Structure 1
Amino acid sequence: MDSLSELVNLLNNTDKALFRQFLQRKNKRDDVKNLALLYLIETDDIAGINKLYKPGKNKDAYHALRKRLQDNLLLFLSQKTFESSHAETYDALRLVVVGRFLLENDVVKVAFKCLDKAEKLASHLEQFNLLNELLLLKLQYAHLEGAEDLDALTARFMQNQLHMQREAKLNIAYAFLRQELQAIHLQGKIVNLTSLVITTIRKYKISAQDLMTYKSIYQILFIANEYAAIQQNYGLIERYVKRTDEFMQGQAGKKQSYLFYHISILYFLANFHLRQKDFARSASWLKEKMDLMETDSRYYAVFYLRYQLLRGLNLFFTGFANDAIGILQESLAKTNNRSKPEDIEDVRICLAMFLALCNNQQSLKQLMLLTRTDAWYEKKMGMLWTIRKNLMEILVHAQFSNIDVAMSRLNSFRRRYRKYLLKTSEERVLIFLKLVEKYLQKPDVVFETTYRDQALNLLDKPENNDIFTLSFIAWLIARREKKTAYEVALTLVQDNN
């Protein structure tokens, strides 16, 4: 999807009607084609250029038209966001804009009242960049009658500069860690997370106190969660989770200004305990997460699919497969063009896994709906996610007797990922793949003692203790035991808890 289409998809029907009115007001001539182009984008008419311009002609004009429409749409979105947002940050920003206007027009007393109110809001929200602009404005007009004492203003300005520098260092450190994480994802770089975090903190001279905020806790947990997912070992980040627990317990109630970070932290905590098979604790964090989501409709929409995904996983691995399947099906039915594609794909692949483990052929249909390229999945979802998806496709096709398709997928998988898996010391995936290949070549091999022992030996490795890895191994074991893979998976999860 191109960027213009993505922007149009952000609009609901009311917004689209308002945007058309916005364009009509701006159009000075009757022959402007921006409204026609908007209609073509809405209707997904790929041959639409021929309706705007003659074939082979005016391609430059077409691209110029697209650029003008995109510029107008960005302007419309910025105005709409600024006017309609009820967030306190925007309230403070509006007061600064009004205060500046009033000062420029010599309405000094009211202007300073606006700026004082804005400063209180910005300080409460820890919007240091906005505070910087606001305090500079106050300093610029400090010579006027009714202005604050210059020394007091200067002291607050200098203190805010320190806050800005602290936040900048945290953001630089976070950006560096995200970059390293990307290298782990895509290049198989081997790092020790704890050493990396400590080195980064020292490099940017970040104090322990600087790390004790919702935002910094969120950033560290994000990195830790991704790292644990790549390593498939959530025990590696237990120390970070314990510190987060301590931080959360020390917070008196919730702050609306930190709601995004607060909800995100609860998601990471719920996910950690899920992956550690502490399903009751995970469910407890999820309940707290939903309580916060319900306080703000914006964040409810943003986090809904992630919440439902963890809720479904908790139910599935505690024996309530039908409930879990129903939740994920309902979640997918409620998606719209504002839902994040990554979240939709995550929910869908989990639904496919649930159905496959329960020996339900609908899993094939769900897998067929995962239509994006491997390159897209690798970039957006990560290498591990994409590898699991491809492995699942092989297993599901094998499960429902599509042997030729399964073998073809297996060979393609080996060609694409063998080098990466060896580079990242993930030979266990290739061992698992070899066992699957033997089954495809000779299904009765599952009854041979050697094959059984090789499959069971996979359970002895600590790195295979993750709920998703156990589910893959359960599929192999189920071929022999004539049980559903779900029954085997539940047993393995309980035995390895």
Structure 2
Amino acid sequence: MNALTDIISIMSLDDKQAFIKHVNNKNKRKDTLNTDLFKLLITDDINIKDKLYSDAKNAGAYHALRKRMYDSLIGFMANRSFENNTGDEHEITRLLLVSRVFFEHKLYREAFKCLAKAEARAMAGEYFSLLNEIYQVQIQFAHFDPQFNLDKVLKNFTQNSKRLRNEEQLNLAYAVMRRELMDIYHKGKVTDVQQLITNTMKSFGISLREVLTFKSLYQMLFIANEYASINSNYSLVETFLVKGYRFIIDRQELAQKHLYYHIYILYFMANIHFRNRRFSECSDYLDLMFTEMHKQNKKYYSRFIGRYYLLLMLNENYSGNAQAILNLIDKAQTETKKADPTDKNDLLFFYVTYWLQQDNAREARRYMREFIHSDSWYEKRMGMDWAIKRSLVEIVMHAELEDPEQALYRLKGFKRRYKKYLTEVKEERVIAYTSLVEKFITDNTIIHSKSFIQQLNQLTQQALAESGDVFVLSFIGWLSAKVNKKPVYPAILNLINNHFSPFHSA
């Protein structure tokens, strides 16, 4: 897709009809081809250029037409967004603009009324940057109203400036940490994430007590969630979980003014509970999340539906309710056709692992074939951790399909590609796991040897002691099922519920 088709893809039918009308009203000549171009772009016609210009020499005119169309679309979408948005921030901005118009025409009383109304809404919504603009306008024109309480406004301006400064510092710190996380995930950069968070917060002089808002909580939970994911240990972020829960409870009156962040916070809370194996609490937060997704005319429903279904199915699966997954897969596939590609890849990955856990490798392979890109592509798009897990699952799948040659081929490629990285990030347990998998694939009778059993017991006890992460235990559960000659899914649930009994050699 290109820039024009990307923009058109997010337009509603009403938007498209309004744009055609908008363009026709602006056209001064009848032979203008902009509406024709737009209609052809809507249909995804691959012969647009030939249909508009028969002469190959008109390539320059065609590109100029596309450039004008792009500029028109940007302007139209900006105006459309401003006109149709009824959120607090847009309403406050409108009041600010109207107040300036009133001041220009010396309607001082009406102007100050607009500013007072804007201030009240901005304070209620904790929109510090807008409050800063409001106070500056009030101060600028204060001399036109002798009864105006300038001292009070100056005090409010000073207090808000501090809050705004704190928010700006947090945004800077968040940007630094997000960039570092991107390098960790997509470039395999080795970083002590806990030290990164501590040093970054300290360098920007940030105290969470002073900056905690829905937006800042979202930012901190995002970083905490990523940190826990990198370490496969969500017990590390319990402090953020408790603080987040208290914040939500105490600030319910602001939740609808920050719906996007509120939904994201509920998702993070649900995910952290899930990864810490508190499935009932995860379900409660998912219910809250789903309710919020329906608010404001389902404004953010499509944005979060992929994540919602993924976490819902994971939670049902690992709480022992695998039978519910089949119906949920059908629903998820229907509702997430236009979901973000990242969310769709996550869902696809779940389908593969689900069927492997149900001892149906052939069905798992059907979904695995939909991963059509290279390892490098998935590393850059989905992250190193995700790409590593996908490769491991593919190796397990080939082993389940009784295709040892392909399994060993993929395993050797895995070690060649990721062993150095795993060593650098101190993930020796993954290397130890792949070593056991390689031994099993090479000679499946080795699972009864004393040495193999001892290594698997050690790996299992380490995983349970360090984090008990459901995904880590899922990989180990597959090997434990082979040792005990049991179905995979019950073996995984047994480990997750901490009913671990050391394996013994025959």
Q: TM-score, normalised by structure 1?
A: 0.90
Counterpart position of 1:370: 371
Shift, 1:229, TM fit: 0.3
The verdict on how the C-alpha distance between 1:423 and 1:142 changes in structure 2, with shifts beyond 3 A counting, is same
Counterpart position of 2:489: 486
Counterpart position of 2:44: 44
Distance in structure 1 (CA, Å) of the matches to 2:394 and 2:41: 34
Q: How does 1:116-155 map to 2 (within 5 A)?
A: 116-144=116-144, 148-155=148-155
Counterpart position of 1:348: 348
Q: What does the per-residue CA deviation read over 1:80-138, in whole Å, with 9 as the maximum and x for residues that have no partner?
A: 21111121111111122222223333444333322221221112112222222233333
Counterpart position of 2:316: 315
Counterpart position of 1:472: 475
Tell me which amino acid in the other structure corresponds to 2:334.
A
Shift, 1:19, TM fit: 2.2
The verdict on how the C-alpha distance between 1:474 and 1:209 changes in structure 2, with shifts beyond 3 A counting, is closer
Counterpart position of 1:381: 382
Counterpart position of 1:326: 327
Tell me which amino acid in the other structure corresponds to 1:83.
E
Identity level (%): 36
Distance in structure 2 (CA, Å) of the matches to 1:449 and 1:427: 21
Q: What does the per-residue CA deviation read over 1:186-241, in whole Å, with 9 as the maximum and x for residues that have no partner?
A: 33323151x44333333222234314332222211110110110111112222222
Distance in structure 1 (CA, Å) of the matches to 2:315 and 2:278: 9
Distance in structure 2 (CA, Å) of the matches to 1:98 and 1:256: 25
Does the aligned pair in 2 maintain the 1:188–1:423 contact within 8 Å?
no
Counterpart position of 2:161: 161
SS at match of 1:277: coil
Shift, 1:420, TM fit: 1.8
Counterpart position of 1:262: 262
The verdict on how the C-alpha distance between 1:190 and 1:145 changes in structure 2, with shifts beyond 3 A counting, is closer
Counterpart position of 1:13: 13
The verdict on how the C-alpha distance between 1:350 and 1:105 changes in structure 2, with shifts beyond 3 A counting, is same
The verdict on how the C-alpha distance between 1:44 and 1:392 changes in structure 2, with shifts beyond 3 A counting, is farther
Does the aligned pair in 1 maintain the 2:234–2:467 contact within 8 Å?
no
Shift, 1:253, TM fit: 5.1
Distance in structure 2 (CA, Å) of the matches to 1:266 and 1:133: 31
Q: How does 1:179-218 map to 2 (within 5 A)?
A: 179-185=179-185, 186-193=187-194, 195-218=195-218
Shift, 1:461, TM fit: 1.6
**Structure 2 gap ranges (5+):** 501-506
Larger deviation: 311-320 or 474-483? 474-483
The verdict on how the C-alpha distance between 1:223 and 1:419 changes in structure 2, with shifts beyond 3 A counting, is same
Tell me which amino acid in the other structure corresponds to 1:461.
Q
The verdict on how the C-alpha distance between 1:17 and 1:252 changes in structure 2, with shifts beyond 3 A counting, is closer
Shift, 1:312, TM fit: 1.3
Counterpart position of 2:88: 88
Distance in structure 2 (CA, Å) of the matches to 1:367 and 1:34: 43
Tell me which amino acid in the other structure corresponds to 1:393.
E
Does the aligned pair in 2 maintain the 1:390–1:413 contact within 8 Å?
yes
Tell me which amino acid in the other structure corresponds to 1:101.
V
Distance in structure 2 (CA, Å) of the matches to 1:406 and 1:147: 81
The verdict on how the C-alpha distance between 1:377 and 1:19 changes in structure 2, with shifts beyond 3 A counting, is farther
Tell me which amino acid in the other structure corresponds to 2:234.
Y
The verdict on how the C-alpha distance between 1:394 and 1:231 changes in structure 2, with shifts beyond 3 A counting, is same
Tell me which amino acid in the other structure corresponds to 1:429.
V
Q: What does the per-residue CA deviation read over 1:285-344, in whole Å, with 9 as the maximum and x for residues that have no partner?
A: 22233333333321333322222222211111121112123213311211243x222222
Does the aligned pair in 1 maintain the 2:359–2:487 contact within 8 Å?
yes
The verdict on how the C-alpha distance between 1:81 and 1:237 changes in structure 2, with shifts beyond 3 A counting, is same
The verdict on how the C-alpha distance between 1:402 and 1:88 changes in structure 2, with shifts beyond 3 A counting, is same
Shift, 1:170, TM fit: 1.4
Does the aligned pair in 2 maintain the 1:4–1:70 contact within 8 Å?
yes
SS at match of 1:78: helix
Q: What does the per-residue CA deviation read over 1:163-206, in whole Å, with 9 as the maximum and x for residues that have no partner?
A: 2212111111212222332343233323151x443333332222
Q: Does 1:277 align with 2:280?
A: no
Distance in structure 2 (CA, Å) of the matches to 1:329 and 1:268: 25
Distance in structure 1 (CA, Å) of the matches to 2:264 and 2:411: 37
Counterpart position of 1:416: 417
SS at match of 1:483: coil
Distance in structure 1 (CA, Å) of the matches to 2:201 and 2:253: 29
Does the aligned pair in 2 maintain the 1:283–1:311 contact within 8 Å?
yes
State the aligned residue count: 495
Larger deviation: 76-85 or 473-482? 473-482
Does the aligned pair in 2 maintain the 1:270–1:281 contact within 8 Å?
yes
Larger deviation: 219-228 or 101-110? 101-110
Tell me which amino acid in the other structure corresponds to 1:487.
P
Counterpart position of 2:428: 427
Distance in structure 1 (CA, Å) of the matches to 2:207 and 2:334: 46
Distance in structure 2 (CA, Å) of the matches to 1:161 and 1:247: 23
Distance in structure 2 (CA, Å) of the matches to 1:372 and 1:55: 38
Distance in structure 1 (CA, Å) of the matches to 2:131 and 2:448: 71
SS at match of 1:215: helix
Distance in structure 2 (CA, Å) of the matches to 1:445 and 1:49: 65
Distance in structure 2 (CA, Å) of the matches to 1:56 and 1:425: 59
Does the aligned pair in 1 maintain the 2:305–2:335 contact within 8 Å?
no
The verdict on how the C-alpha distance between 1:235 and 1:57 changes in structure 2, with shifts beyond 3 A counting, is farther
Counterpart position of 2:234: 234
Tell me which amino acid in the other structure corresponds to 1:495.
N
**CA RMSD of the aligned region, Å?**
2.8
Q: TM-score, normalised by structure 2?
A: 0.88
Distance in structure 2 (CA, Å) of the matches to 1:61 and 1:397: 54
The verdict on how the C-alpha distance between 1:47 and 1:398 changes in structure 2, with shifts beyond 3 A counting, is farther
Does the aligned pair in 1 maintain the 2:163–2:211 contact within 8 Å?
no
Shift, 1:393, TM fit: 2.0
Tell me which amino acid in the other structure corresponds to 2:157.
F
The verdict on how the C-alpha distance between 1:333 and 1:358 changes in structure 2, with shifts beyond 3 A counting, is same
Larger deviation: 113-122 or 405-414? 405-414
Does the aligned pair in 1 maintain the 2:188–2:384 contact within 8 Å?
no
Does the aligned pair in 2 maintain the 1:228–1:236 contact within 8 Å?
yes
Tell me which amino acid in the other structure corresponds to 2:475.
F
Tell me which amino acid in the other structure corresponds to 2:88.
E
Distance in structure 1 (CA, Å) of the matches to 2:47 and 2:419: 41
Larger deviation: 58-67 or 226-235? 58-67
Tell me which amino acid in the other structure corresponds to 2:369.
M
SS at match of 1:465: coil
Tell me which amino acid in the other structure corresponds to 1:470.
L
Larger deviation: 306-315 or 27-36? 27-36
SS at match of 2:92: helix
Shift, 1:384, TM fit: 0.5
